Amino acid sequence: MSVQVRIPTPLQKLTNHQEEVLVQADTINGLIEALEKNHPGIKERICDEKGQVRRFVNIFLNDEDIRFLEKEKTTVKDGDVVSIIPAIAGGSFSGTASPSEGLLRRIAGQS
């Protein structure tokens, strides 16, 4: 079964700068193994030493967080889209703008 996997920018160096790759898999575990076979080193970025998805990595199957499905045992089927999304935390703002105004300015490329 072909599953489309969306690769986050920090991991694209392991996929020859591809934003999306296709893999054959039946489960998220199988998908991760297929990614590792085709793109060595990617598994250690996604999984801990026990083979579980790292807590700061989010994996979505067709916009559903696998943590609320069957985690790594979640089944995938032909045509599914899996997104790997690293968690984002932290940040700061300065000046008199509110935090949301500061964030909007940074997103828009303004200081």
Q: Domains in the chain, start-ordered, CATH in brackets?
A: 2-86 (3.10.20.30)
Residue identified by tokens 């559903």 is: 64
Helix extents (H) in 39-96: 42-46
Contact status, residue 103 vs residue 94, Cβ threshold 8 Å: no
Per residue of the chain (111 residues), give pLDDT as tens. Answer: 699 999 999 999 999 999 999 999 999 999 999 999 999 999 999 999 999 999 999 999 999 999 999 999 999 999 999 999 998 766 555 555 555 555 444 444 544
What backbone phi and psi angles, to 5 degrees, belong to 58? -110, 135
Whole-structure pTM value = 0.77
Q: Which DSSP letter does residue 88 get? A: -
Alpha carbons 83 and 77: distance in angstroms, whole number = 14
What pLDDT shows up at residue 91? 59
What pLDDT shows up at residue 96? 52
List Cα–Cα distances, 40 to 18, 63, 101, in angstroms: 14, 26, 41
Residue identified by tokens 């996997």 is: 5
What pLDDT shows up at residue 92? 57
What pLDDT shows up at residue 101? 53
DSSP string, 64-77: EEGGGTTGGG-B--
